[in-house]
Structure 1
Amino acid sequence: MTVAAMRRMDNPARARILRRMNTDLIIVGGGLNGPALALAAAQAGFTVTIIDSLPLDTRKRVNFDGRSYALAHASMRLLRGIGVWPKISDKAQPMLEIKVTDGRAGEGPSPWMMHFDHAEIEEAPMGYMVEDRHLRRAFLDAMAKDKRITHLSGETVVAQSVDAAEATVTLASGKDISGKLLIGSDGRKSGTAERAGIKRTGWGYGQTAVVCAVKHEKPHGGIAHQFFMPGGPLAILPLTQDRSSIVWSETDTRAQALMAMSDTDFLTALRPAFGSFLGQISLTGARFSYPLGLTLANSFIADRVALIGDAAHGVHPIAGQGLNAGLRDVAALADVLENARGRGEDIGGAQVLARYQQWRRFDTTTLALATDTFNRLFSNDNPLLRAARDIGMGLVNAAPGLRRTVIREAAGLTGDLPRLMRG
């Protein structure tokens, strides 16, 4: 628009034009997947504006609060590729083994189990445990150093629209931002998806995850444990400094009672399920809880809109693959956009976005169904199902080829890997 044309406009319209920002990509959501995509896209030469509803000071908090993530080996490759991994590698705990058992709290595990060792694959370790505070700070620092990224914190989107050339969002502050593509990375209740008219399919499990961290007397040896109990699985995941992250899935009623307990009473309730193999335990950091369910966007794309992470798919934490699936979205979308630009295509065009959906839709649906099936199979005390699953775990453990396949799947090394995850 020329200066003369702007002068002919009335004052409110002129002010609105002056408040408009233009960018290649608009990313709504400043958690983890959004910043990962911002860095990957900026590295490929795109300009990015990321909109985060939380204030920057909140994101930058450095106190340990107990929240941690299991990063698959392929996800580590992505973080290394976008320059984040060197900032957190010394704070990450390698996962060298995974032990999966079945049983009841206070009775010890079933003799049937699955044991996966990192030594069975060439790309070992299988993955890493990284604390939320370290990962978020590394993303923020990396984005602040990249001039192609504009990070707007403490801002919320109140409206969005698309036309043949661009997508536009309006912020609560009154600013408009226009870009070639709008990306929703704003969680399971994605406003971006809702405003784009994308419906969701899903259901609750009647379970709630209680998340915390404990310090223990004995070293964990880099071993992750998954203990299936009638109310839901208990994951004990190794952190640095002889600490472990706890993800305890229980019935909603039981979880509510656990969250209402004092720290002393909570530890008393946890010990029969946790066991004594790591000695005495004590809480470190806070406790969190969140309801568990399955939610899938009926489409990962709309006109000039793409969804990543929980905005596209939210699964049960039974396999610890939620963040890894989101980072795979990031790597795939970055690949698709870079290739499209190389061909001279409109990066927000329907054909380009269809390639992204085709790449990710089947994998994420398969993951959702697998976690749903496993949770239903294991979160009960049916004696017939218990016998069947125990025998099944024993058979998997006795088959080296099948065991290796499971390890590679958990490490994120199977399927059509995007460039940033190929190493």
Structure 2
Amino acid sequence: MNESAKPVAIFDVAVVGGGPAGLAAAIALSHAGARTALIARRVGYGDNRTTALLGGSIDLLRELDVWPRCEADAAPLRVMRLVDDTGRLIRAPEVRFSAAEIGRDAFGYNIANRALMAAMEARAAEAENLTRIDGEAEQVTPGDTVVTITTRQGDELSARLAVGADGRQSLCRKAACIGITRRALDQAALTFNVAHSRPHKNTSTEFHTPHGPCVFVPLPGDRSSVVWVASPREVERLAALSDDELAEAAERRSHSILGRLEVGQGRNKFPLGIERPARFAGNRIVLVGESAHVLPPIGAQGLNLGLRDAADIAEIVGDVLSSGEDPGASPALARFETARRSDVLSRTFAIDVANRSLLSDFLPIQTARAFGLHLISKVGPLRRLAMREGLAPSWRRRPHREPRSKAFSGEVDTGSSQENASKQ
């Protein structure tokens, strides 16, 4: 990566934000041939959260030479179990999804965000077309031909396209005059990691409770990450427990399927909500990651959506530049809008419906939920369809004319027996 304190060139693209989605976008754009600036502070990743990378996310990271740098730190997810632990009169049967049933070695991989970020930073440091601006954007000003970005550290640069990967309070989104719809949920999540006395056998188990799911996701060795969704008051109570008390509570919640538990260092708690923008692009700015969508940690969709954002904008920019066109002009922005809208909105809708149906005390809704899961459990073609669509939507509209590779386009080869696949 080239270092420059005060760059004077006009870049093809400037990426604002250095989280996983921002780093992936910057690496993918430089890989596609765009002269790319990444505006992000170099800070260590501080917490113990993990991400289940599914479907085309692993393909993209392989294509970008990120995955070989962190694969050893990830655990494959070969089986996923859904267990109705609501205690209600009408309960759904257990549903078991096996990657082998759709010809895959694994649905995906669970990895500590810290390890994933370290691999991305290492890859970004080697990218030939990528200039790192170690600073924090203070002002983003769209113009007729370029977007000008000024940092708090005094640097200034211009780019024909800006990629807003700067999170929920996105400066780029405000600069593009894009409104946001927010809906707080009466739920919160507690995340922590555990060691256990029994092997997880690469099986992720999701216990459905009346207040949300509690998921135990494999990590390397006899360890798992836990995402416990509950009412805000219950999450506060759980977070205040000692390690031994939390381990006992988690063991009860898991019905001791993993044996005796030991809670590791680090816990995170956060309120849940759903956020989506009025548009995904405008005024030479596109939105990726949490600038563009915030979802509850159900179905492992958050970062996987962000990586598809990154793959799509890189495809579009590479295609546009190869044709000698402007990557920040209206046609390119329209293609990104079309590509991302259906994917993001459909995932948001599906997660919202699944969450509402779990929380509802209305008997007909409970019955419909139980019946739907019963069909998925017993009808093979429907179950396999659910598995494939859970990895990535097969119907989503492509942002480009012809993909340069399956991996880069984010497609999933569900008919292959090769291990190409890969929570939030």
Q: Is the structural similarity TM-score above 0.5?
A: yes
Structure 1 residues 188, 250: CA separation in 2 closer, same or farther (over 3 Å shift)? Answer: same
How much is the aligned-residue C-alpha RMSD, in angstroms? 2.0
Amino acid at match of 1:293: G
Displacement, 1:110? 5.3
Amino acid at match of 1:316: P
Is residue 2:176 matched to residue 1:203?
no
Structure 1 residues 173, 18: CA separation in 2 closer, same or farther (over 3 Å shift)? Answer: closer
Is residue 2:76 matched to residue 1:94?
yes
Q: Quote the Cα distance in structure 1 between the aligned partners of 2:269 and 2:360.
A: 21
Match of 1:48? Answer: 36
Q: Once structures 1 and 2 are overlaid, which stretch shifts more, 238-247 or 378-387?
A: 378-387
Amino acid at match of 2:56: A
Structure 1 residues 382, 265: CA separation in 2 closer, same or farther (over 3 Å shift)? Answer: farther
Is residue 2:141 matched to residue 1:161?
yes
Match of 2:57? Answer: 75
Match of 1:38? Answer: 26
Gaps of 5+ in 2: 413-424
Q: Quote the Cα distance in structure 2 between the aligned partners of 1:371 and 1:190.
A: 23
2:86 to 104, 110, 118: 104
Maintained 8 Å contact 1:73/1:128: no
Is residue 2:166 matched to residue 1:186?
yes
Amino acid at match of 1:86: P
Q: Identity across aligned pairs (percent)?
A: 31
| TM-score when normalising by structure 2 | 0.89
Match of 2:302? Answer: 322
Is residue 2:367 matched to residue 1:390?
no
Amino acid at match of 2:196: H
Q: Quote the Cα distance in structure 1 between the aligned partners of 2:139 and 2:255.
A: 51
1:129 to 110, 113, 116: 110
Maintained 8 Å contact 1:25/1:46: yes
Maintained 8 Å contact 2:295/2:302: yes
Maintained 8 Å contact 1:160/1:167: yes
1:104 counterpart SS class? coil
Residues 267-297 of structure 1: CA deviation (Å, up to 9, x unaligned):
2332321221110001113110111111001
Displacement, 1:184? 0.4
Q: Quote the Cα distance in structure 2 between the aligned partners of 1:285 and 1:401.
A: 42
Match of 2:13? Answer: 25
2:126 to 122, 137, 145: 145
Match of 1:14? Answer: none
Structure 1 residues 282, 382: CA separation in 2 closer, same or farther (over 3 Å shift)? Answer: farther
Maintained 8 Å contact 1:158/1:171: yes
1:314 counterpart SS class? coil
Maintained 8 Å contact 1:101/1:110: no
Maintained 8 Å contact 2:17/2:166: yes
1:250 to 216, 230, 241: 230
Is residue 2:245 matched to residue 1:280?
no
Q: Quote the Cα distance in structure 2 between the aligned partners of 1:68 and 1:356.
A: 28
Amino acid at match of 2:120: F
Maintained 8 Å contact 1:25/1:179: yes
Q: Quote the Cα distance in structure 2 between the aligned partners of 1:413 and 1:395.
A: 20
Q: Quote the Cα distance in structure 1 between the aligned partners of 2:333 and 2:365.
A: 42
Q: Once structures 1 and 2 are overlaid, which stretch shifts more, 290-299 or 109-118?
A: 109-118
Q: Quote the Cα distance in structure 2 between the aligned partners of 1:351 and 1:128.
A: 36
Maintained 8 Å contact 2:80/2:205: yes
Displacement, 1:104? 3.4
Maintained 8 Å contact 1:229/1:380: no
Maintained 8 Å contact 2:6/2:155: no
Q: Quote the Cα distance in structure 2 between the aligned partners of 1:392 and 1:325.
A: 25
Displacement, 1:413? 6.2
The count of corresponding residues between Structure 1 and Structure 2 is 398
Match of 1:11? Answer: none
Amino acid at match of 1:377: S
Is residue 2:66 matched to residue 1:84?
yes
Amino acid at match of 1:30: G
Q: Once structures 1 and 2 are overlaid, which stretch shifts more, 239-248 or 121-130?
A: 121-130
Residues 176-225 of structure 1: CA deviation (Å, up to 9, x unaligned):
11111111011122121012211101201111111111110011011111
Structure 1 residues 391, 413: CA separation in 2 closer, same or farther (over 3 Å shift)? Answer: closer
Q: Quote the Cα distance in structure 1 between the aligned partners of 2:395 and 2:340.
A: 11
Which protein has greater RCO, CA pairs closer than 8 Å, 6+ apart? Answer: 2
Q: Quote the Cα distance in structure 2 between the aligned partners of 1:361 and 1:388.
A: 28
Amino acid at match of 1:148: N
Question: Which structure shows the bigger proportion of residues in helix conformation?
Answer: 1
Displacement, 1:21? 5.0
1:137 counterpart SS class? helix
Displacement, 1:18? 6.7
| TM-score when normalising by structure 1 | 0.89
Q: Once structures 1 and 2 are overlaid, which stretch shifts more, 390-399 or 176-185?
A: 390-399
Displacement, 1:169? 0.7
Q: Quote the Cα distance in structure 1 between the aligned partners of 2:349 and 2:77.
A: 25
Higher Rg:
1
